[in-house]
Structure 1
Amino acid sequence: MPKAERIRTEILFEGHKIVDYYEWLKFNDSRTMKYITEESNYTKDKFIKPCESIIESYRAELSKLKDHHVYIHRTVVIDGWTYYENHNSFGENAFYRRKGEIIEEIFNISLFSKDLSYFNVGFFEISQDSRYLAFAYDEDGSERFRLCVVDMISKNYKLIDAEISFYYSARWDANNFLIASSVDEKGLPRKIFKIDVEMQRKELLYYEEDESLTVTVGSTNDRKYLTIEIVGQITKEVIILDGNDRLLRFRQRERNVRFNVEHWNNKFLILYGDEKHPNNELLLLNGIEDFHKQKAKVILKHSNKYLTRIESFNKAIVIWFWEKGSKNFLFLLPNESNDEFKVVMPFKPSVFPYSLMPYAIEDEEERVYRNFNDNYFSFIYSSFNEPSKIFRIHFVKQSLELVEEETNSLINFKDYSSKKIFINSIPVSIIYKGKSQPYRKPLLAYAYGAYGGMIETSFKINWYPLLDKGFTIIIAHVRGDADLGYNWYLDGKFLNKQNSFHDFATVLKYFSTNNWALPEQIVIQGRSAGGLVIGAMLFQYPHLFNTAILQVPFLDVVGDMIDINTPWTIYEYEEWGNPHNQDIFNEFLRFSPYNKLPSSHFPNVIFTAGLKDSRVGYYEPSKMVAKLRHHLPKGWKKKLYLKINPEGHFSSEHSVLYAFIDHANNKC
């Protein structure tokens, strides 16, 4: 069994002395790599090799399911051309465009990716005159993207400035300059560049000096304005970029004030939120100066609807919202003078009870099947047991049309049941195979609980091998998420963080008390910030479950949050709290998993990490495992593994994690 060297490090912070024996694992040197190699070899010898046949069985089953799945492509529609990424006849990845019966391959991405174990496209953007395709790609999982521009007439391509690492957002302006976000030396997106792709010149257009904020490039739905969105956890502002590269601010930045911007028929729409308006309200402005002069007109607000997104069309405004744990949208239909609106709710939650548009609405996805002058609205519907369907609904007639749908020839979706229940006000989404409630069957419970995120209850093909083995799978939408509104988020952060863990424990107790599963049949799982929830459960509620899966988990809350040299730390102050505040620091000490010691009830655990992870360092789970190996009680006989992948934050191996569940139950 691996045994990490214990080297005492004392860190002084605000009068506190913090002792850490594994701080040296933060430094990616030969000693660190030696320990990581020892842990990797131990995981291979004790788990991977004995369970090789089970891993391969899961891998084959997942591959077969995906091979028989017909997907909806990620698309962008410009000037009648539909652009998308797909496999060509040789099984290679390529960008295409189609118009009617005409289909053109624009660029074979496999020129870059065929010899790489990891390759991810961050954005792809088509210039307004349809001349250029720009796409960003990440070769190692570090989220430091390179930029390639393809001339769609000549099919030649250029790699743009290897000295700059790009991020997930970009837009073309009307003069074929690319406006793109870029990361700083810590990997945070805080720069916006204007790039002349013909001359290979760049100009720094915007730099965000506040390290608690990041930047994203966007555009209004009518394409009249490019935007720079400046985003923090509780603060957000939008700057309009006019045709002369002037930056036009709506108002002075203010902490705890959040707003998004749309342009609509020579007016501006502002989705505005602050401490008095936690669930946001929709404002109408005749011009940017109206926001300064407080002349904005409130056209929509709801105390029980959390308004999250606006989309503008010539004949309607679409508002996305969350209500009672479900996502939905409504239409605002204007009168002839565009100053009064009729509110139309196309669907009640009973019609579409699960996920509408169940993906991260970023960059090109927000323009899927979108045109400002359309008389209809396109959206994606999905649920745990229904793959994605694209529908189109007419703004005035409310007629509904199915446009495209995903299918899978191996899955009979009617064999599975999914629903949402509330346990002490906590929304819980559930799926299982069969029609009757499972009785003492294995259960996989997932939680996140941070950043005001909402885990979509959309179709997840990777779950079906477990469902077919009798598992119930649930998502507990605990406080720290925002499924029940912005205050649900606030109730799970800062000094209220313990609520996230308490909620998850409440959910687990419900399922065991009501005989869905015995504690020894329960597996819990979380990734990144969700790994913090699972990490807290390991020490606070270890008797409620048998096995835990922590993927790229945030565990050393104290150590990370007092170290401003760690990427994202200052940005994270607005999520977890500033440790210079004594109450916040004490709260960190109370719940930080790394600062706890295991009991004899400590469960089976696997931790995963990514060597190139720029968000949660590989050393977080490495330090945790090293400390656990030293402090686990004598006679403890369960499983503890660390699996480190060479990629970054988003790598995942479902087959290995599922096999670990079997391994924890001594099936391999």
Structure 2
Amino acid sequence: MPTVSPVSNAPVAHKAAGSDPYAWLQERDTPEVMAYLEAENAYQQAQLADQAELREQLFQEIKGRIKETDLSLASPWGPYLYYTRTTAGDEYPRHYRCPRPADDSPTVDESREELLLDPNSLANGGFLSLGAFNVSPDHQRLAYSLDTSGDEVYTLYVKELSNGAVQALPFDDCDGSMTWANDSQTLFFAELDDTHRPYKLLRHRLGSTQAETVFEEADGRFFLNCYRSSSERQLVLLLNSKTTSEAWVLDADHPQANFTCLAPRVEDHEYYPDHGQLDGEWHWFIRSNQHGINFALFHAVADSIPTRDQWQVLVPHREQVMLEGFSLNASALTLSLREGGLPIIEVQPQGRAAYRVELPDAAYSLYVQDSLEFTSTRVRLRYEALNRPAQVRQLELANGAQQVLKQTPVLGPFDADDYVSQRLWATAADGTRVPISLVQRRQDVGKPVPLYLYGYGAYGESLDPWFSHARLSLLERGVAFAIAHVRGGGELGEAWYRAGKQEHKGNTFSDFIACAEHLIASNVTHAEQLVISGGSAGGLLIGAVLNQRPELFKAAIAEVPFVDVLNTMLDPDLPLTVTEYDEWGNPEEPAVHERIKAYAPYENVKAQAYPALLVIAGYNDSRVQYWEAAKWVAKLRATKTDDNLLLLKTDLGAGHGGMSGRYQGLRDVALEYGFVFKVLGLA
């Protein structure tokens, strides 16, 4: 049982014999472990009990900005419009469809709408995550999957839309994916192995209780995924590790046939295919890095399976421009690019000159949200900035004309011009310029204010600036918000990602520190006003910089933090470990072991003063196990030399993404913001 310190009343985990004194916290479901986690939860609640009124105020404040009863923008497909509706008081949106209007407008006819799925009734107040939601090509059935614990293992269902009959498919250990063939009778789904990796593709025909194994991936680095092509004429089975991929394809009209390999895997060759039309002919389109790390786009006639030497360059590799993806419509090719740290949409209409989409802000988030039907002459873009609520913009592919179809409402007093969004640049120790996105009240510009600095820096993921209703509760209290776009992310292309992984991982941490120092030196904030935050691999970032420069920060928040990285990477039986070797390295190699050990947050906790710290974990998290946070907090509590708050909150009924409902999520944000205000003396 955990003991209690007479000085702080904080739980103190006992130290066991051996090289890892807190390894006993990995013994899931034992009375001793549960007692410790519950004691930490009780301690966290007691320490923040004086904020109950503030948390409720924040919750109501944030909720009050959100239009609780709202209708999504309907998407046309075949004879229907498909859409969701949120209702005040409900945790989850309901899914509907109605007949498609004759004028092809997205206007919903509520008198003829049909309820397809209500997750609120399925959740029954508990955790619920909707995985697949796929209507069959003949629009007669809905395939969907549910996770009811947060462990990302799903149960599969098929609903007959004509009569509402629901059948649970009798298959276990499913990753939640479900892909229809064109006969509307055949489903493909993936099964998880013991390490939680989608490794096996199965084929199931409705009416049967069996499923046939179509493909099994033996290499533990590779994940398996099946999807329909843009043309809806092909199924694609993609196998990919962090550095290599391989695709197999199947005519969607003949689901009982065998998949055929498009190009056998070659180490470090990544390629991602889709199927569409070019000049009226069916073609394969393949995004590949065979000509350079920023990817090029190739094409090949699809009358047979083309060999790799038959691929022809359509969009060449560019040294300063990353080709992140592409969308296919019958009349145009839409490229998703990244240049100068910003996302760019470039359209190549067939028979017309290419153009780039023009936008109003200097720093923003932009992507193709919906390419609509393959025959559509339009696509929908999602656009937002730190001070601009998300917009869905309709883009006419032929000429680039834009129309704002929907803007996320902000209820109550709000004016985007009251806030200033900026792009700043810090200089890292090696001279590299690191971008920072910053937003604050216009009245606060030019004077030091409290600042909330967020970072991630892994897997090539880009943290493009996004709008947040909740964040307004920080900004309105004079707290600025910034994102450090550190190496390891993808904001400046593939080279930026590679410069923050493996043997270069230290750049992620030094970049973040450089961003903090730049914000202080620029008089945006002071160290006594600086709060930092990150989750998952971003939690590793937070843990590492706290060990290296604790005096630079007033407080930190680490959500589902990957802080026990060395021990996790030494255990190949844990979910994701083997496939993560390409990101972090294999510590069975002595040089890699020493490299990871040098920065791993858990190993490098030392006897020094640390900022106030709030740590969030999910007990059912299959990606970052709950014990990483628990062990880290236990070691910090026993080692650090200060009396600053150190709190651990373990969501015992949730996974990697936290609690599943929208109101539950808002209460989690209110807790975190309350902690920030308490530490900064703003509460």
Q: What amino acid maps onto 1:268 in structure 2?
A: W
Match of 1:534 in 2: 542
Task: State the shift of 1:588 in Å.
Answer: 0.4
Q: Which whole-Å CA distance do the structure 2 matches of 1:169 and 1:419 have between them?
A: 42
The 3-state SS of whatever aligns with 1:548 is strand
Q: Where does residue 259 of structure 2 map in the other structure? A: 247
Aligned partner of 2:140: which letter? R
For 1:273 and 1:205, locate their aligned partners in 2 and report how far apart those are by CA, in whole Å: 28
Superposed, 1:498-537 pairs within 5 Å as: 498-537=506-545
Name 1:477's counterpart in structure 2.
485
Deviates more, 1:118-127 or 1:96-105: 96-105
Question: Residue type matched to 2:418 in 1?
Answer: D
The C-alpha deviation readout for 1:94-120, integer Å capped at 9, x for no partner, is: 32102232322223333311232x212
Corresponding residue SS for 1:50: helix
1:156 paired with 2:165, answer yes
Q: Which residue among 323, 330, 351 is the counterpart of 1:314? A: 330
1:642 and 2:654 aligned: no
1:177 match: 186
Superposed counterparts of 1:437-448, under 5 Å: 437-448=445-456
Distance 2:463 2:180 in 1: 28
C-alpha distance in 1 between matches for 2:601 and 2:40:
20
Are 2:488 and 2:497, in contact at CA under 8 Å, matched by a contact in 1? yes
Map 1:577-596 onto structure 2 (within 5 A).
577-596=585-604
* Aligned equivalent of 2:389: 387
- The answer (yes or no) to whether the contact 2:362–2:422 under 8 Å persists in 1 is no
Q: Secondary structure at the match of 1:201?
A: coil
The equivalent position to 1:304 in structure 2, one of 316, 320, 327, is 320
The whole-number CA distance in structure 2 between the counterparts of 1:125 and 1:562 is 38
Partner of 1:434 in structure 2?
442
1:629 and 1:376 mapped to 2: Cα distance? 56
For residue 462 of structure 1, give the secondary structure of its aligned residue in structure 2.
coil
Question: Does the Cα contact within 8 Å between 2:67 and 2:411 map onto a contact in 1?
Answer: no
Which residue identity does 1:114 align to in structure 2? N
The match for 2:619 among 607, 611, 614 is 611
Unmatched segments (≥5 aa) in structure 1: 10-18, 336-341
Output the CA distance in 2 between the equivalents of 1:157 and 1:350. Answer: 47
1:224 aligns with 2:233: yes
Counterparts in 2 of 1:252-651, with a 5 A limit? 252-265=264-277, 266-274=282-290, 277-287=292-302, 292-301=307-316, 302-335=318-351, 344-348=354-358, 353-357=363-367, 368=370, 370-410=372-412, 411-424=414-427, 425-434=433-442, 437-633=445-641, 636-646=642-652, 647-651=654-658
Q: Hey, what does 2:130 align to over in structure 1?
A: 121
Give the CA deviation at 1:623. 0.3
The alpha-carbon deviation at position 433 of structure 1 amounts to 1.6
Q: What whole-Å deviation, never above 9, does each CA across 1:131-170 have from its counterpart, x for those lacking one?
A: 0011111112111111221111112111112534332453
2:105 counterpart residue number? none
Letter in 1 for 2:36: Y
Does residue 90 of structure 2 align to residue 80 of structure 1? no
Contact persistence 2:223–2:239 (CA under 8 A): yes
- Shift in CA distance, 599/500, structure 1 to aligned 2, threshold 3 Å: same
Write the deviation string for residues 367-412 of structure 1: whole angstroms up to 9, x where unpaired.
Answer: x351111222321111122222222222222222222222222222
Give a deviation string over 1:66-99, Cα, whole Å, max 9, x none. 24685645x6532031223324699575321022
Q: TM-score, normalised by structure 2?
A: 0.89
Q: Is the 8 A contact 1:3 1:626 kept in 2?
A: yes
Match of 1:50 in 2: 50
Secondary structure class of the residue paired with 1:502:
helix
Is 1:112 the counterpart of 2:122 in the alignment? Answer: yes
CA contact (8 A) 2:344 2:356 kept: no
Residue 240 of structure 1 aligns to a residue whose secondary structure is strand
Q: What is the distance in 2 between the residues matched to 1:318 and 1:655?
A: 39
| Alpha-carbon separation, structure 2, partners of 1:595 and 1:483 | 30
Given residue 254 of structure 1, which amino acid in structure 2 is its aligned partner? V
Question: How far apart are the structure 1 equivalents of 2:226 and 2:305?
Answer: 24
Structure 1 CA distance, aligned partners of 2:442 and 2:69?
22
Give, as a single letter, the amino acid of the residue that structure 1 aligns with 2:263: R
Paired residue for 1:95?
Answer: 95
1:655 to 2:670 alignment:
yes
CA contact (8 A) 1:577 1:584 kept: yes
Paired letter, 1:644: T
Q: Which moved more, 1:253-262 or 1:394-403?
A: 394-403
Question: Residues 69, 491 of structure 1: CA spacing in aligned structure 2 closer, same or farther, 3 A cutoff?
Answer: farther
SS of 2:447 mapped into structure 1: coil
> Cα deviations across residues 513-550 of structure 1 (Å, max 9, x unaligned)?
11111101000000000001100011001111110000
Partner of 2:662: none
Matches of 1:300 and 1:201 in 2, distance apart?
A: 44
Q: Is the 8 A contact 1:310 1:319 kept in 2?
A: yes
99-108 or 130-139: bigger deviation = 99-108
| Structure 1 residue matching 2:525: 3-state secondary structure | coil
Which residue pairs with 1:338 in the alignment? none
| Structure 2 residue aligned with 1:13 | none
Moved more, 75-84 or 386-395: 75-84
C-alpha separation between the residues in 2 aligned to 1:435 and 1:189? 51
Report deviation, 1:62.
1.6
Question: 1:447·1:477 contact (CA, 8 Å) conserved in 2?
Answer: yes
Evaluate the alpha carbon distance shift between residue 58 and residue 438 of structure 1 in structure 2; reply closer, same or farther with a 3 A threshold: farther
User: Secondary structure of 1:593's partner?
Assistant: coil
**What is the CA distance between 1:174 and its match in structure 2?**
2.6
Equivalent-residue separation in structure 2 for 1:153 and 1:479 (angstroms): 52
Unpaired runs of 5+ in structure 2?
1-9, 102-108, 428-432, 659-664
- Find the counterpart in structure 1 of residue 66 from structure 2: 66
| Contact preservation (8 Å) 1:195, 1:201 | yes
Work out the CA distance in 2 between the residues paired with 1:412 and 1:179. Answer: 48
In 2: Cα distance, 1:390 partner to 1:149 partner: 31
Give yes or no for contact 1:622–1:642 (8 Å, CA) kept in 2: yes
Q: Which residue of 2 aligns with 1:14?
A: none
Residue-by-residue CA offset, 1:544-576 (whole Å, 9 max, x unaligned): 111000000001121111111211110110111
**Corresponding position of 1:142:** 151
Q: Which amino acid aligns with 1:589?
A: K
What do the CA deviations read for 1:465-524 (whole angstroms, capped 9, x no partner)?
Answer: 111111110111100001101010000000000000010000000111111111010000
Distance 1:326 1:413 in 2: 21
> In the aligned structure 1, how far is the partner of 2:88 from the partner of 2:590?
61
1:211 aligns with 2:211: no
On the 8 A contact 1:417/1:435 being kept in 2, the answer is no
8 Å CA contact 1:326, 1:349 repeated in 2:
no
Alignment partner of 2:139: what SS? coil
